[in-house]
Amino acid sequence: MKHMKYSGLVAAALMAMSGAAQAEVTLTVLIDNAPNTVAQWEGISAAFTAANPDIVLELETRPGGGEGDNIVKTRLATGEMTDVFAYNSGSLFQALNPEANLLDLSDLEGQANVLDSFKPTVSAGGKVYGVPVGSAMGGGIFYHRPTYEELGLSIPMTWAEFMENNAKIKEAGKAAVGGTFGATWTSQLFVLADYFNVQAQVPDFAEKYTANEIKYATTPAAVRGFEHLQEVYEAGVMNADYGAATFEEGVAMVATGEVVHYPMLTFAIGAIAQNNPDELNDVGFFAQPGDDPNSNGLTVWMPGGVYMPKTAQNVEEGKKLLNFIASVAGCDAQTEATGFQGPYLVKGCDAPLDVVPSVADMMPYFEADGRTAPALEFLSPVKGPALEQITVEVGSGIRSAADGAALYDQDVEKQAKQLGLPNW
Amino acid sequence: MKRKSPYPYWFVFPAAVIFTTLFLVPSVASLWFSLTRWDLFTAEFIGLENFVQFFKEPFLVQGMTNTVIFAFVTSSLKTVLGLLLAVLLTSGIFAQGFLRILVFFPVLVSTIGVGITFTRLMHPTKGAINIALAQMGIDGPGWLTDPSLALFSVALVDVWKGVGLATLIYIAGLASIAPEYYEAARIDGATRLQQFWRVTVPLVRPATVTVITLSLIGGLRSFDIVWAMTKGGPGFSSDVLASVIYKQYQAGFYGLSTAGNVILFALVALIVIPLVSWMNRKEVDQ
C-alpha cells in the first residue's frame, strides 16, 4: 500500500504572503491516485483554500480498483477514515454499508444544487450521503479523426457499419481496434458500454436482473456485447500486442493513430490531455453502436461521490468543502485544473464554448432526449467480479461468446449470494 | 524418566503472548469467519455455504491443478538445477566465488521487481526476449499472453529467482561429504559420472529433502510472482489457488476468501506432511 501526501502548498504560500494569522484547520481527504484525479483535487484544494483561508486540505492518495475498495472498507471499519473521502457511486457505494458508516448529508445546503439524476446513486434507505465530483462519463469508442478523414470513413450508426469500417482500416494496413488486455478491466467495455442497446430492446432488464428473473446468456440482446468481443477477435483487426498492452498505451495509440478505434470510458480524455496534449484534437468519440440505426445512444457512468464518515473530526469544515464542490465555483475549479471532460451533475455548471473534439462529440447525446442510459452498475447491485477475466478470454479467442455469457451468469450468482440478495 | 526443566514456566509467557495474539487468535478467528458472510462491517453465520461455493467456483479445479503443476515444475527444476549448479560451483572452476554470488543474487531481489522486469522482457512485441529471437529469425511466442504458455513462463522465472537458494543449500550439503568417499570410489575405478550417482546423490540426501520441502511449500502457496506477472491471466489460465483466493478478497467476499485460505492450508498440509515424513523415514532406513 502506497501513500503519498500532497499538502495545500499553493494555499499555504498564498496565506504566508497575505500574512493571515487565523487558526488553521487541516482537513484530511482520501482520493484515488489516478493522475487526473490528483490534478482535479489539487485544483479543488487551491480554489477552496483561496475562498476559505483558514482551512487547508491534506490530500492522501490510495490505489484504484479492488485494492482501493479494500482500503476504503478497512479504514471505515476501523474508524480511521479521513474527514472527507472520494469514492465511486452506484453499486460500489452501496457496499460501504452507508447507513452504519457515513454521515447523512440529505440536509446539506449544497444538495439543492445537485441534479436529481445523481442523488439515487449515492442514496441508501432514503437518505443522501454524498455530492458528485468530476463529470459524467460515456462508455463508447474513441477514434482517430485524421485516419477517418484520410480513409473517408463516417461515424458508424450500427455495429455492422463499425465492422465495415474496421475491415477498411485493416485493408489500409492499420490496426483498427485497440486491445489493451494487459489492463484486464479495459476488456469489459464492449459488454458494459452495450447496455444502452440492451435496455433499448429489454427495457426492464435491470429490474429483472436484480430479481434473478433474467440472465445474460439467455437474453440475445445481452449476449451481443460478448459477441462483439468475439467478432472483433475473429476479424483480426486488433493491434499485435493486444494481450499485453496497458490502458496508458491504448490511450497513446489512439491519440497517435497507431490504432484507429479504442473502446473506453470518456474519462480517458483526461489521460490524453495529460500524456498526449498535442494530439488532443485528433481524437473523436462515438457511442457504441447497436443493431438498430434508429436507436443509437450512449451508456453513461455517473461521476463518483464525495462522502464523510461518521468518525470525521472536522465535520463543519468538511461540509463547507462539500458545499463548495457542489457549486459552480467547484466545477470551475475542476474545469480549470483538468479541462472540461463532460457534463457535471451540478446545476449551473454549463459546458464552456471551447471544448476538445471528443467532448464535443459526446455532449449531443446528453442534450437530446432518450439518447443516454445509465450503465447497469447504477441500476443494479449485481455485478460479477470475474467479468474482466471472462471478457479477456472471449476477446482473445480462448472462449466463445455464448460460453462467456453463461460463465458470467455463474459468477454473478456467487456475488448476489455473497451480498445476501433475495431470490438468489 | 522425564527430567524436570530447570526453568520456571513463566519464562514461556512472553513468547506465549506473542504466539497467542499473532498466530493462535487469528487462526481460530479465520476458522470462524470462513463460516460467515462477512463484509468487514458485519458477519452473518451461514454454515458451510462458503465452502460449498468455493468448491463450485468454476476455476477452482483449474486453479488447484495449476497450483500442483506449478509447485512440482518449480520444485523439481530447482532441485535438479540446484544440485548441478552446486556441483559445478564446488568443483574449483574459474571465478568460483563470483559465480556463486551471481547465482544467489536473484534470491535477494524483490519478487515484485523480478515479476515486473520479466513482464517487460516477455512482452510479445516489444520485449527483449522476442526481439532477440526475431534477430535470429524465430517468431517468439506470447510468453505471458498465450494461455497454454503463461503458467510455464511464470514457473521458469520463479526457478530463475529461486534456484540460488537451492544451490546454496546443496553447496553446504556437498561440503559435508567426507573426501574419503570420493577417494575410495576413485581407487575402485569409478568414473566421474559414477561418483556423482553413487556417492554425491545418496550422501547429499539431507540437502535434497530440505530443498524439495522448501520449494514445494513455496510453490504451493506461491502468489506474488504470479500476481506480478499475469494476475492469473490471460483469463484464468495461470490462476493458482492463492490468486483465486485473492480475487475473492478483492471482490469484497471476505468470508469466502477466508474459506479458501482454510482450504489452501489443508491442501498444503495434506501434500507436505506425508511427503516429509516419507522422505525422513527413507533417510532413517539407509
> For residue B213, what are the CA distances in angstroms to B225, B261, B271?
19, 20, 10
Q: Which residues on chain A are in Cβ contact (under 8 Å) with B236?
A: 386, 389, 393
Tens of pLDDT, residue by residue over B223-239, are: 999 999 999 989 899 99
Confidence at residue A88, expressed as pLDDT on a 0 to 100 scale: 93
Confidence at residue B284, expressed as pLDDT on a 0 to 100 scale: 57
| Residue A385 touches chain B, beta carbons under 8 Å | yes
Contact B39 A70 (CB under 8 A): no
| Residue A3 touches chain B, beta carbons under 8 Å | no
| Residue A421 touches chain B, beta carbons under 8 Å | no
Whole-angstrom Cα distance, residue A322 to residue A129?
Answer: 11
Helices (H), A291-399: 315-325, 328-338, 357-367, 387-395
Confidence at residue B92, expressed as pLDDT on a 0 to 100 scale: 84
Q: For cell 442510459, what's the residue? A: A373
Q: Which of A74, A240, A420 comes nearest B125 by C-beta?
A: A240
Contact A240 B253 (CB under 8 A): no
ipTM, 2 decimals?
0.82
Q: What angle do CA B235, B62, A400 make, to 5 degrees?
A: 45
* CATH number of the domain where residue B78 is located: 1.10.3720.10
Q: Which residue has the higher pLDDT, B276 or B100?
A: B100
Contact A244 B57 (CB under 8 A): no
CATH number of A157-300+368-419: 3.40.190.10
Nearest CA in chain B to A95: B39
Q: What is the pTM of this model?
A: 0.85
Residue B242 contacts residue B222 (beta carbons within 8 Å): yes
For chain A, what percentages of helix, strand and coil (3-state, to nearest 5) are there?
Answer: 50, 15, 35
Interface probe for B, chosen from A70, A246, A414 (most Cβ of B below 10 Å), is A414
Q: Any idea what DSSP says for residue A278?
A: G
Confidence at residue A22, expressed as pLDDT on a 0 to 100 scale: 55
B197 within domain boundaries: yes
B86 within domain boundaries: yes
Beta-bridged to residue A131, according to DSSP, are A306
Domain layout of chain A by residue ranges = 5-133+304-343, 157-300+368-419
How many residues in total does chain B contain? 286
Identical fold for domains A5-133+304-343 and A157-300+368-419, yes or no, is yes
Per DSSP, the residues of B169-198 read HHHHHHHTS-HHHHHHHHHTT--HHHHIII
Confidence at residue B157, expressed as pLDDT on a 0 to 100 scale: 96
Coil, helix or strand at residue A129: coil
- By DSSP bridging, strand A123-124 and strand A137-144 are unpaired
B58 within domain boundaries: no
Confidence at residue A254, expressed as pLDDT on a 0 to 100 scale: 96
Per DSSP, the residues of B13-75 read HHHHHHHIIIIIHHHHHHHHHTTEEE-SS-EEE-TTHHHHHHHH-TTHHHHHHHHHHHHHHHH
Contacts for B176 with CB less than 8 Å, ≥ 6 apart: none
Nearest CA in chain B to A75: B40
Q: What is the rounded average pLDDT of the residues B27-46?
A: 86
> Is the alpha carbon torsion for A132, A138, A139, A145 positive or negative?
negative
How many residues in total does chain A contain? 424
Residue A257 contacts residue A284 (beta carbons within 8 Å): no
Confidence at residue A65, expressed as pLDDT on a 0 to 100 scale: 79
**Fold of the A5-133+304-343 domain:** D-Maltodextrin-Binding Protein; domain 2 (3.40.190)
* B285 pLDDT more than 70: no
Confidence at residue A273, expressed as pLDDT on a 0 to 100 scale: 87
Confidence at residue A2, expressed as pLDDT on a 0 to 100 scale: 40
Nearest to B89 by CA among B161, B158, B175, B162: B175
- Model confidence band, residue B2 (pLDDT cutoffs 50, 70, 90): low
Q: Closest Cα of chain B to A4: distance in Å?
A: 20
Contacts for A179 with CB less than 8 Å, ≥ 6 apart: A187, A232, A238, A239, A242, A243, A245, A250, A395
Provide the grid cell at A20.
493571515
Confidence at residue A151, expressed as pLDDT on a 0 to 100 scale: 95
Per-residue pLDDT of chain A (424 residues; tens, 9 = 90+): 344 444 444 444 444 444 444 568 999 999 999 888 999 999 999 999 999 999 999 999 999 877 888 899 999 999 999 999 999 998 889 888 899 999 999 999 999 999 988 998 999 989 999 999 999 999 999 999 999 999 999 999 999 999 999 999 999 999 999 999 999 999 999 999 999 999 999 999 999 999 999 999 999 999 999 999 999 999 999 999 999 999 999 999 999 999 999 999 998 998 898 889 999 999 999 999 999 999 999 999 999 999 999 999 999 999 999 999 999 999 999 999 988 988 999 999 988 888 899 999 999 998 888 899 999 999 998 888 899 999 999 999 999 999 999 999 999 998 898 888 888 8
Whole-angstrom Cα distance, residue B183 to residue B129?
Answer: 45
> Is the alpha carbon torsion for A338, A340, A344, A349 positive or negative?
positive
CA B129 vs. chain centroid, Å, equals 25
Domain count, chain B: 1
B195 within domain boundaries: yes
Nearest to B248 by CA among A36, A295, A411: A411
Domain span at B245:
70-285
Residue B158 contacts residue B222 (beta carbons within 8 Å): yes
Contact A70 B250 (CB under 8 A): yes
Q: For cell 447523512, what's the residue? A: A104
Confidence at residue A7, expressed as pLDDT on a 0 to 100 scale: 45
Q: What part of B 11-70 touches A (C-beta under 8 Å)? A: 37, 39-42, 44, 49, 53, 56-59
- Model confidence band, residue B264 (pLDDT cutoffs 50, 70, 90): confident
| Residue B125 touches chain A, beta carbons under 8 Å | yes
Whole-angstrom Cα distance, residue B107 to residue B166?
Answer: 10
Q: What is the mean pLDDT of chain B?
A: 89
